[in-house]
Each structure stands twice: as structure tokens, then as C-alpha cells.
Chain A
Amino acid sequence: MNPAATVTRGTGENTVVGDDARVPIGLTVNGRVRTMTVEPRTTLLDALRDELGLTGTKKACDRGECGACTVHVDGRRLLSCMTLAAMQDGKQITTIEGLERDGNLHAIQAAFIEHDGFQCGFCTPGQIMSAVAMIEEAKADWPSAATTDVGRPFTIAELSAAEIRERMSGNLCRCACYPNIVDAVAEAAARS
């Protein structure tokens, strides 16, 4: 083996942030106003987990590729690892902990149990948050890449298995419960 050139790594000459500056923010999380200070670089995901202790939202890839950290911001699904907490100041956030009503599971949660739409359960909060928002998107006539005719409004009656697969493909599941997830979402969508 030939010795190669000596390489160096690191940014030792970088200016260090002078102080541990934190910014105050207020979020309405699951209906409750929560105020806190966060580092400007802290993601919404880390703020939910580390500042508020809402650990139902999972960190799996931390770069917007897997959907495990999906939450609702002002009613729309969003990857909480891809946004900074400070950017969501004043917003309405719903996490998996906020889906139950008076101790009753949301219809999607119940359908996931009935259809065994999970195994290890780690991606499940993200799958469920995605599914809840996805059904609302379908109800609002949003088409998807699987929609055959985008020239006319989509209707929820057209929410086929192929549509659900496409619309849920931003949420990876390594235990691979996909067919069961499709069944759970289809049942909950039909009921809603």
C-alpha cells in the first residue's frame, strides 16, 4: 500500500458563536399555547421532542426523506425535521399526541390497530399524521401523481388503493406494513 498525501479535516479557524443565543417563540401545540426559547438552529422536531417532551414525533432520517416526523402545521402535513422551530412561531401544531379526543382514538388510529398497519411502530405516528392530512387533501379535491385525469377535480370517491399508495409514499416503513396501511387508510377514508 502506498502512503497517500496527508489530509486535514476541520474548520478550526471558524468563528465560534459568541454566546448561546436563544430566541423566544410561542406555538399552539395540540390546542395548548406553549412558550419557550430555542436555539435558532433547532428544528421543530427537536423542539417538540426535547423542549416539550412530545416524543411521539420520531426522528428517523432528520433530512426529509422518510416522513417519520410528520406533524400538522395549520392543518397541513409537514416534515418537522425540515423546518426550524423559530419559523413556526405563532402556528397551530398538531402532533400524534393530539389526535385522541376525550380518550377516544381518531378513526385512523383505530383503523391502524384493526388492520395491523404497523409492526415496530416507530414510523406509525408519522404514517397516521400523514394519513389524516392526506384524507383531508383528497376531500379538498387535490389530485396526486396517481390521478389519471387531472383535467377535472378529484373526488374522494376516486381514492383507490393506487391513490392511497402514492399519497402515502412519503412515509417509509421498514417493517413494510404497506398493504395493511393502505387497508387502514381506505377504511378510515370510506368512513369519513
Chain B
Amino acid sequence: MNAIGQPISRFDGRLKVTGAARYTADIPLADATHAAIVHSTIANGRTVSIDTTTAEKAPGVFAVFTHRTMPRMNPTPKPWSHLHPHGQSYLPLQDDQIHYAGQPVALVVAGTLDQAAYAGTLIRVEYDARRPVVFGSQATKEAVDPPQFLWPVASSVGDADKAVAAAAVKIEQTYTTSDRHHNQMEPHATTAAWDADGTLTLYETTQHIFGTRELLSIVLGIPEEKINVVSQFLGGGFGGKAYVWPHTLLAALAAKVLKRPVRLQLTRAQMYAMVGHQPATIQTIALGAGKDGKLTGIRHDSISPTPIFDSYIEYAGLVSRSLWAVSGGITTKHKVVHVHRNTPTAMRSPHEALGHFALESAMDELAYAIGIDPVALRLRNDTQLDPHSGRPFSTRAMRECLRAGGARFGWDKRTPEPRSMRDGRDLIGQGMAGAIYTHWRWPAKARVTLKRDGSAVVETGTHELGAGTYTVMQQVAADTLGLAPEKVTVRLGDTRLPASHASIGSSTMANAGASVMLAAKAARDRAIDLTLTGRNAPFAGAVRGDVLISDGRLMLARTNLQITYAELLARNGLATLVGDGDYDPVEEANGPKAVFSFAAVFAEVRVDPDLGLVRLNRFVGAYDAGRIINPKTARSQAIGGIIWGVGQALLEQSETDPVLGRFLNRNYSGYLVPTNADIPQLETLFVGEFDEEASPLGAKGLGELTAVSVAPAIANAVYHATGKRVRELPITVEKLL
């Protein structure tokens, strides 16, 4: 029986379509109080006075906290680590300083949400305001070198400057991407409850329960074993719920002081400043190539904004280090500009989706400069060796992505000249792009328990963000144990379960999945042991390799001997049989091969020649994400990624007031995301194969990959349709008029 590879419907589907799935803000708690944040209206300066007297007397109010009354926190740990990731180092309500608009200046706790929100309006704040620094036209002059964050800030292989200078064909352009906000449907929410013995249970909208626990332990000064973090269903994460943000700390401390549970759900508008966002980038690319289109040099520099107090780096240049073969040299460099805003963070797909817009747009410009087909140009620069590390790729099906994707799209019917394709009065444009995505290897633990009734339970501290984690873990355990999937129950999202890693970087399947497979193997092997050497062992004297398992039945090859898991446990007087899985892989950078996912994507747009309105007509994505565990949920992730990219390409931008320094369009009316009517049918192809370097499951990352290179494919299609090269995202109508 093979559950892996089958398009199985979601294990948690019924809970989700009936409203029974409980998200963080849905958890019922007796005595829960409601908190509301009052935030700064200025972006730089300090509070001179905060008058809370009227608010404190308002009906239902338990307490009002300001920087004078909020208990002190320990500093966030240095260096930053995925093991205890703070969203920002500057902690809330600890001093009178204001470093960004929307910063908390007070927290009201009341009996009902309306009481808390109303009392918040009664607080009178006096500021000493200063003019904020914003990310703007002087950015290139104010940019500084940041300290290393996730990867080295700069990279150099060969001599890119010399190669570009000497190249027969050169493309040198600047490309920009906009500030964007995750805007998950589910607002960030926290419910903090302290037991009488000092144990904190935190119901949290997080992609990283164990990282949340560790950071809270450090900042709040309480032992880890006194903290439980729970996140069983997450209403979308996209990177924005991976790290710990200030409001979580406030809720935990307020609950401790008041000795009552505190629930704090951010408003939609507050999500623009209380939690992270994707910073804008200004990227400069120089490509050098021969007349045959073979790349000789790439220089890729990027500048992005970061707060006064942190150095978050958007590694837009990462893509240029490894996507295409380059004979002469590659350099990448990242700088930041310190401005008055909150700390940016990872947003689907961090680094890559921004860098690909620049690189794959420049590749399209190169194709036109030389007069070569964009697909042919990519094929000519394909490589099986990572130019950055010199290591061979574990698997790289770029050629197959280009071939299969192009064939499905009908790329051969495209006429290359801009404005050469029309449908009635509309201009039709077709564009494409290649894509690469980093593979993350992280340790993960899991436990699988076989029960006497023949069922099994999987327990692991990973998360369900929407990727289908409950379902794919069920499939992995079922196949490994030789059980039908419906016999397997999966428990996730609680720090009382075996420790897993953050659900970020498209890493859950490859890593948490591997731990589940190892745990199921361990349980299965213990069962096989019992058939060979246990009480009244049915296969006594046989060799392990001859024991087969199917549908919960252990069978000895070439005999009629068999026994079910249930009978085996009963015979041995066992209520359960437990297997532990401890997946502890070598870090990707230290492995023998370079592990990445790949894609080639093809877009067709329709452009109204009078209005400049761009509509996506159709889209084909071909993906090498290794072995696909569940084609149904994988396709859903892929179409979601494509649409995420459509937002980046055509709609999404968080606008900053140049004087006040605050985000302006803090709602779904001002910040446009794709709607159902914006999206045509989308086609996805999976062309990858089992990748043993990536994971024992053979899977590579998928979710983020699918949001990469949508924007350049659309931008290239817009150029093909109109003859206008738009180098600033999003591609809004005024840029085409």
C-alpha cells in the first residue's frame, strides 16, 4: 500500500469545513480577559507623558500598562538564532523612546474586547516628536554594510568586474521591489495563561512553538520547562509568524501581573507595525555575456531598509550565486539603510522572490539584446555544478522544467517581437523565468505509538500552516508502518510533544517528515523484533528481511505465517509500542552536494492598450521539488504560490508616508491582494525525482519555490505585450501609460 504519492484529501478537512478547527483566538478559556494595544502615532521621538487615569476608570478595565508599569524584560539574545528567534530586538513598553510608528505605548486589559479598545481611546499621550528617516530616494547614499545575518553579506567567486567589463554583451539595470505585508487571513493572536505553580501556557499564532518557548524563557527569565506553547492550527504564516513579536511578550507579562488569562489579537491595521513585513529592495544587476548568450559575469547588489535598532537583511543577491553557470565571476553584496520602522522579516519567498525579479528580468533583457529565445538562453546557461560552492547539485531538473513547462504552455507558438501578439484590441504577452530555492536541513524529533487496537498515533512538535502537515505526516507514517492512512492519527503544535524545528523555508516535509519516518521505522522494527523473539514469537528463527507488513499485518515471506499489530501487542501484553525518531542532518552548507529546488514558469498576460490594465490570462509552472508526497496538497501549495507571486507582480505595495514615516494603506482596501476574480486556471507540473541528499523522504522544498519567479515571468510577459520594460514592482497601470 502506498499512501505516499497519492492525492489524499486532507486529514483535517472535516474540522476545517465545519468550523471545528480551533485556531489560537478560538481556544475557550474561563476568565479570559481581553487586551488592546495603544500605539504610537509618531515614528521618531519619545513619549513625554502618558495619562491613563480616565482609561483606568473606564468600565471593565483591569489595568493599563505603560513603559512605567510593564515589568522589565531581559534583552533579546545575541547573536540572533533560529533556535530562539526574536522578530525584533527592541522590546515593548520598556522605555520612553519611539523608534517607529505603530510602536506600543500602552496596553489595556479589560473584561471585554470592546471595553479594552474603548478605554484605549481615553489614553492621552504627549510626544516629543522628531522627523523620521524613511526609505527613499537618498537610500543609496545612506546605505551601510550590515553585520552577517543568515549568510555572508557579500560573496565573490572569480572576478565579476573584469568579466562584465570585458563582456561582448552587457546588461546593467536597477530593479526595485516594494514593501509588502504578509496579511495572513488570521491576525496574530496570543492567549497567555499562568497556572498557580507558575507554568505559562501560551496559545500562540506561531510557525515555531519551540523557538517561541526558548525566546520567552530568555526574555521573561523563566525556565523552559515552565512554558508550554500551543499552535495546532495556524491561519496562514508565510514567514510572518515564525519569530516572536513584541505583543506576545506583553500578553504574557500582563497575564502574570493580573493572575488571569489575557487574550490579545492584533487588529488588521496593527499588523502593519507590530509584526514584520518584507522590506523594499533596490537592486542593481550587471550581466556580462558572450554573443552566444553564455554568461561570463554577474554583479548583483541590493539595498533594503531596516530599523534603527536592527539589521535585517533581505538577501536578494542570493539567487545570482547559484542559478546559472557563469564562467568569469559572480559577486553579490547587500547593504541596509537604517530608518524609523519596525523590523522586517521573512515573507514568502524571502530573498529569492525579490532577487529573482531582478536576475530573471535582466536575463530576459539579455535574451532580447542578443536575439535569442529566453528558454534557449536558460538552457545554454544550465549547470549541474553550483557556481557558488563548487559542489555538484544533488538533483537539478531545470532542463526538464524548461522542456515540460514550455511544452505544456505552447511556448513554441510564441512570436518573439514585442507587441506582435494580440487578441482583438488587447495586447497579449508571454514571458517566462527560471527559479532556484534554498534547501534547509534542520533537526527534528517525532514519536510514533502503535496501539493495541491496531491504530497508530504520530506526535511531533511541528505545525499546520495550510500546507497539509497533518495529512502528509499521516501518509508517511502509514506507509512506513504498513497501515492504512485512516488508522493513523497525527498530533502537532504543542511543546509537550517531541521537539521539531520552525515551519519555515519549505522545510517541514523534508525534515519533520524525516523524523516521522524514522519514528515509524523504529516502532515497526520493535514490532518485527517481537515477531522474531517476543513471547510465542510467530516468526521465531526467521530473518528480519523476510518480514513484510501490509494493512497492519506482519507476514513472513514464502510462508502463510502472519500476525496483526493488534494481535502481536496483545500476545506480548503490551498496551503500546513506541518508536522515537531523531533526525539530525548535517547542515546543507556542510554536505557533499548543493541541494536546491528548481522551477521554470510561464505566464501569459492580456494588457488593455488604452488603460494599461494587466490581467493574467494563464500560467504554467513546472517544479523540481524532489519526490511529491501528496500531489493534491502540493498542487494547492503551488497554485497558492503562483497567486502569491501575482500579488507581488501586479498589486501589493505598502506605502509609507514620506513625512510621518508610517505605513498608510493598513487594510485590505488599501493593500490589494489577489481576489478570486483576478485568477484564471493555473497549471502545475511536478518533474522532480527522489533526492536522497535532500531528505530520507526524497522531498525538497516546494511552498516557497512556487512563489519565486512569478513576478519576472509576468514582467517579461508585460514587456512582450507592450514593449515597455517595467523594472519597479508592482506593475500598476500608471507604469504602462
- Taking Cβ atoms with an 8 Å cutoff, the residues of A that contact B are 1-12, 14, 16-17, 19-20, 39, 41-42, 46, 49-50, 53-63, 65-66, 68, 95-97, 99-100, 105, 109-110, 112-114, 116, 118-125, 128, 146, 161, 164-166, 168-169, 171-182
Contact = CB atoms under 8 A, between A and B. Distances in A.
Contacts of B674: 176, 178
Contacts of B14: 105, 113
Nearest to A41: B114
A55 B19 contact: yes
B677 A112 contact: no
B17 A118 contact: yes
Contacts of A6: 48, 126-129
Contacts of A3: 128-130
Given A58-B185, A121-B233, A97 B128 contact: no
B187 interface: yes
B127 A177 contact: no
B226 interface: no
A179 B643 CA distance: 10
A169 B676 contact: yes
Given A2-B131, A121-B235, A19 B676 contact: no
Contacts of A164: 676
A111 B38 CA distance: 43
Interface of B: 9-10, 12-23, 25-26, 28, 41-42, 44-45, 48, 51, 54, 57-60, 112-115, 118, 121-131, 133, 182-187, 233-238, 265, 267-268, 464-468, 632-633, 635-637, 639-640, 642-644, 667-669, 673-679, 681-682
Contacts of A66: 185, 668
A12 B18 contact: no
Contacts of A121: 12, 15-17, 21, 233, 235, 466
Nearest to B51: A12
A116 B644 CA distance: 17
A96 B18 contact: yes
A113 B9 contact: yes
A116 B465 contact: no
Given A6-B129, A61-B268, A121-B233, A12 B54 contact: yes
A120 B235 contact: yes
7 contacts: A3-B129, A7-B41, A12-B124, A19-B59, A60-B235, A112-B17, A182-B676
Contact of B113 (A1, A50, A113, A114): A50
A183 to B, nearest CB: 9
Contact of A62 (B121, B183, B233, B268): B268
Contact of B467 (A2, A5, A119): A119
B640 A175 contact: yes
B679 A176 contact: yes
A60 B668 CA distance: 10
Contacts of B12: 121
Contact of B13 (A57, A59, A113): A113
A178 B679 contact: yes
A97 B20 CA distance: 8
A176 B185 contact: no
Given A20-B115, A97-B19, A121-B12, A174 B185 contact: yes
A120 B114 CA distance: 28
A182 B679 CA distance: 10
A79 to B, nearest CB: 12
Contacts, number: 241
B130 A2 contact: yes
Contacts of A181: 676
Given A14-B122, A174-B673, A180 B636 contact: yes
A137 to B, nearest CB: 15
Given A16-B122, A39-B112, A173-B185, A7 B129 contact: yes
A75 to B, nearest CB: 19
A98 to B, nearest CB: 9
Contacts of B681: 161, 179
Contacts of B466: 118-121, 175
Contacts of A146: 677
Given A39-B112, A65-B668, A119-B466, A8 B23 contact: no
B18 A179 contact: no
A172 B185 contact: yes
A13 to B, nearest CB: 9
B17 A9 contact: no
Nearest to A112: B17
Contacts of B633: 116, 119
Given A16-B57, A119-B466, A172-B675, 4 more contacts: A11-B121, A58-B185, A119-B465, A178-B676
B676 A165 contact: yes
The 6 closest A-B pairs by CB, nearest first: A56-B19, A122-B235, A10-B124, A120-B466, A119-B466, A121-B16
A61 B121 CA distance: 20
A175 B317 CA distance: 27
A25 B112 CA distance: 18
A19 B14 CA distance: 43
Contacts of B125: 8-10
Contacts of B42: 7
B187 A59 contact: yes
Most A CB within 10 A of own CB, among B13, B26, B54: B13
B613 to A, nearest CB: 16
A180 B638 CA distance: 12
Given A10-B51, A166-B677, A181-B676, A124 B112 contact: no
A68 B122 contact: no
A1 B115 contact: no
A172 to B, nearest CB: 6
B147 to A, nearest CB: 24
A8 B674 CA distance: 38
Nearest to B187: A60
A68 B185 contact: yes
Given A9-B41, A116-B636, A180-B636, A56 B676 contact: no
Contacts of B468: 119
Nearest to B182: A174
Given A50-B112, A65-B668, A113-B14, A8 B19 contact: no
Given A122-B185, A176-B640, A61 B668 contact: yes
Nearest to B265: A59
Nearest to B26: A55
Contact of A125 (B19, B183, B640, B682): B19
A2 B659 CA distance: 12
B16 to A, nearest CB: 3
A59 B25 contact: yes
Contacts of A178: 639, 643, 674-676, 678-679
Most B CB within 10 A of own CB, among A118, A161, A181: A118
Nearest to B120: A10
A95 B185 CA distance: 19
A174 B183 contact: yes
A3 B632 CA distance: 58
B676 A113 contact: no
A166 B705 CA distance: 29
Nearest to A57: B19
Nearest to B9: A113
A177 B678 CA distance: 12
Nearest to B647: A176
